[in-house]
Structure 1
């Protein structure tokens, strides 16, 4: 700035005339950039913009929106709606539960109510532990399905708790089932939250950003809880003494809760590959020789997989003792290893055996995630009717092209979550020349 212009600005400042100065600034890693206009001499009441920014920074991640994926805002809006519905319904359920435990009943004793309460909490904790033990390895592979499952189970649990006082002698049993459902919901929702938060962060290697997104979600949940506490208090006062109206409001909130959860999980556009997404990608590639983007796959994948009980046609990490049972199977194994090793005599990462309409993938102890995806590519060719030789040849010819197209579309190949029975093998040594 020239000395003459500096003198003009100084004179205007000295005369209390308003001066507007525009600057450009960046914050931290440079994800957040903005133009700032300073007006010297303005009234203090006009400083509303910084206060609004401070309020937004309280609930939004650092560097928003550049630091998060495009589906973050849509998911959080629907997640807020479902969280508020859950909190309001839980207040209605607590009223019913307290009534069933004897609160307000002159004939009930404090000790019996305390024992019933302890039993309910003990069974819910036990149910949560058993559920986590059985399914803990599945949450990261399909967070969308398990998140929806958690909220549907929560709906069942709250409905049972709401209806428990009307069941008479079965009150404790029904309330116990409701508590177990709520515990299962807590386990599944908590486990999937980590995978979803990791997805939202554009810089996944930056642990500080991941932690910030996680903490801001906690603040959002706290604000929703406070709002639900205020609205729930008003709601319980208005609905006090009207059982039919309470049930009508409960059913309406439950319907809204299901819809909000469905729209929340379908808004997620995950870039990691699990069994369902791999199946969609490989099938499309076999038909069209092209790879779908994460957004297109998200529109095709189902979030209701927990309602399907059909066994998958591909077993990953199958135990070798189930694949090789007699002398003929051993001869097959030797021939398969020779074919897979090829002229280089290198150990293959897997071998596939078709049996009973399913592909059993026996994995070598050194197999990696990309080789697991390759085994699924080859297994799907076998399931479509190709011969072992044809499936092996097509996999060698096309899989590298397929993997390269996945990377160009934005798919993350470092984390491939396929259902794995975790059996690993050591192949017999190759015969010496």
Structure 2
């Protein structure tokens, strides 16, 4: 046994596990106090499991919401595996497996049409919504799983309508490929959020290992269930309903467990309203549970961030008024009749400028559409602007926009400081800005 009175040469620690120290022995060898050297994290089945299925350095190498999210994600994957097996059985039955009157050619054509329709859906959805998936990853993740359940339900029902079987499975394939795009893209966005040591590949790989293990468990359970549900439609529908309810609930809990520190429009809206009402900015842990996951009934303006100039103004006089009403790296205009706000960003606009521009648009939205709890020192000013903005004739809102800009210039430094101190990330954002950038001060430029 080593002499504990000897000064240790060094200590070492694997992540957050217990430390060990090395002492010099009389014979010149190293003597270890604590964990035995050479065995590392392989001392127990628990550590083996963690090494295989959790990212290296867990829990320090991932975000604090990693474990609750993965637990509920595992539950939903298991439920989806069971319902997927029920759907597979129904589709195989529908294409003629076990039916002597069906032909291989007919089944092949149906399958090709199903896959081809899905490929078209994948391309169209990625084209139409690909740029929006990062901004609202939680909503799109929940949407993808709900759509997946609808597609599975269609496949289970398809054999009951043989005349429309091909149309139903093609529509289901279309939906499933949309699910693949939305689910894969949002999973990548959530993985980027969870990886805290530039270890996105490791987090993604271990997530794949977890899902594979769950799918294996689902396959084993499916092997037991399939013989029981064959030719028993009521039992099939009952199991589908049970596991679909579990699937949707687990998905809701999973996305609710995610606590993102990057601002999107919904989180910025909540933070801004809280700041205007209470005078301080809440933390991500306070805002994320309030973030809407489904389209709400509350009225919102259509905000285009990074808009081209023609969306802001249509005349030279309007352009000059837009320039006069601003004092930063963006221009803003309001169309009350259409219910839209257009924001043009300067070529040199930073992420903070984009946050301020979006905050200005959200302030206009709040003044026009919502009743703000105006408990701050600027409450009377906001109430005055709200009255002016709602009562101003169409086409005469520029003076009010100027006043809102001046007010925001006073409030935004405090709001930005509150965001930073509360733990929000401001050097990047998920506000969904378009790529148009404007330079409205071409003093040294000449038209050729």
Query: What interval of TM-score do these two structures reach, taking the shorter chain for normalisation?
Result: 0.7 to 0.9
- CA spacing shift, 1:312–1:420, aligned 2, 3 Å: farther
Deviation at 1:310, TM superposition (A): 6.5
Question: Is residue 355 of structure 2 the alignment partner of residue 361 of structure 1?
Answer: no
Cα distance in 1 between the residues matched to 2:4 and 2:181? 69
- CA spacing shift, 1:131–1:335, aligned 2, 3 Å: closer
TM-score where L is the length of structure 1: 0.84
- CA spacing shift, 1:226–1:358, aligned 2, 3 Å: same
SS at match of 1:362: strand
Contact 2:19/2:35 (8 A) holds in 1 = no
Task: Select which of 41, 61, 67 maps to 2:61.
Answer: 67
SS at match of 1:333: helix
SS at match of 2:61: coil
- CA spacing shift, 1:370–1:2, aligned 2, 3 Å: closer
Question: Is residue 273 of structure 2 the alignment partner of residue 283 of structure 1?
Answer: yes
Question: Is residue 332 of structure 2 the alignment partner of residue 352 of structure 1?
Answer: yes
Question: Is residue 16 of structure 2 the alignment partner of residue 26 of structure 1?
Answer: no
Hey, what does 2:223 align to over in structure 1? Answer: 233
SS at match of 1:340: coil
Hey, what does 2:308 align to over in structure 1? Answer: 319
- CA spacing shift, 1:24–1:121, aligned 2, 3 Å: same
Deviation at 1:333, TM superposition (A): 2.2
- CA spacing shift, 1:382–1:2, aligned 2, 3 Å: closer
Hey, what does 1:415 align to over in structure 2? Answer: 428
Task: Select which of 244, 248, 252 maps to 1:262.
Answer: 252
Deviation at 1:322, TM superposition (A): 3.1
Cα distance in 1 between the residues matched to 2:50 and 2:442? 63
Hey, what does 1:250 align to over in structure 2? Answer: 240
Q: How many residues in Structure 1 have an aligned counterpart in Structure 2?
A: 393
For structure 2, the residue ranges without an aligned partner over 5 or more in a row are 21-33, 368-385, 390-399
- CA spacing shift, 1:215–1:401, aligned 2, 3 Å: same
Deviation at 1:325, TM superposition (A): 1.7
Deviation at 1:179, TM superposition (A): 1.2
CA RMSD of aligned residues (A): 2.7
Cα distance in 2 between the residues matched to 1:282 and 1:378? 10
- CA spacing shift, 1:430–1:377, aligned 2, 3 Å: farther
Cα distance in 1 between the residues matched to 2:42 and 2:323? 72
SS at match of 1:65: coil
Hey, what does 2:363 align to over in structure 1? Answer: 381
TM-score where L is the length of structure 2: 0.82
Deviation at 1:426, TM superposition (A): 2.5
Deviation at 1:375, TM superposition (A): 1.1
- CA spacing shift, 1:111–1:292, aligned 2, 3 Å: same
Cα distance in 2 between the residues matched to 1:229 and 1:2? 53
